[in-house]
Amino acid sequence: MALRLSATARNAAASAIAALADAGSGPGVVEIRTGAQPATPADAATGTLLVTVPLADPAFDAVAAGTAALADVPLTATATGSGTAGWFRLKDSAGSAVVDGSVSTTGNGGDLELATTSITTGLTVEITAGSMTMPAS
C-alpha cells in the first residue's frame, strides 16, 4: 500500500523542510547548475554552477495544502557561469544542502521556474516561482 498523508501531516512536513532553509545566521541560497541533478542532496553537486541566488529570510511563505512557495519572488542574481540550467540545490546559510530539484522556464512545471534557462555570465537570472509540495497520496 502507498503511504498517504493527512492535510495536517503534509503541512507539517512542508513547514519542517522550509524551516531548514532558514537554518544558520542568514538567508539560504539557491544554486542553479547545469546537467542532471545527483541522486540525493547528500551527494556532491554536479554540473557547472551558473548562479547563486540569495533567498528571502524566511525563505518560504506560509504553507498551505502541503505546499511551501518561495517568498518574495521574483528573486534575482547575476550569473557567474554560462550554460543551460538543469537543476538546483537549496542550501541554508551555513552551506548545508536541504533540497535538490528540477528547473524549467516559467509555466513549464519545474520545482524552480526561471525567466529563461539559458544563462550567460554577467547577466541577471530571475527566479519567477518555486515551491515544494508534499504528496497527498
In a domain, 1, yes or no: no
Of 18, 124, 23, nearest to 71 (Cα)? 18
- The residue range of the domain holding 44 is 7-133
In a domain, 81, yes or no: yes
CA-to-CA dists, residue 81 to 47, 58, 112, angstroms? 11, 27, 18
Strands 97-105, 112-114: pairing is parallel
Residue pLDDT, tens place only, 15-70: 999 999 999 889 999 999 999 999 999 999 999 999 999 999 999 999 999 999 99
In a domain, 77, yes or no: yes
In a domain, 61, yes or no: yes
In a domain, 113, yes or no: yes
Query: What is the tally of structural domains in the chain?
Result: 1
Q: Which residue carries 550567460 as its cell?
A: 120
Residue pLDDT, tens place only, 67-112: 999 999 999 999 999 999 999 999 999 999 999 999 999 999 999 9
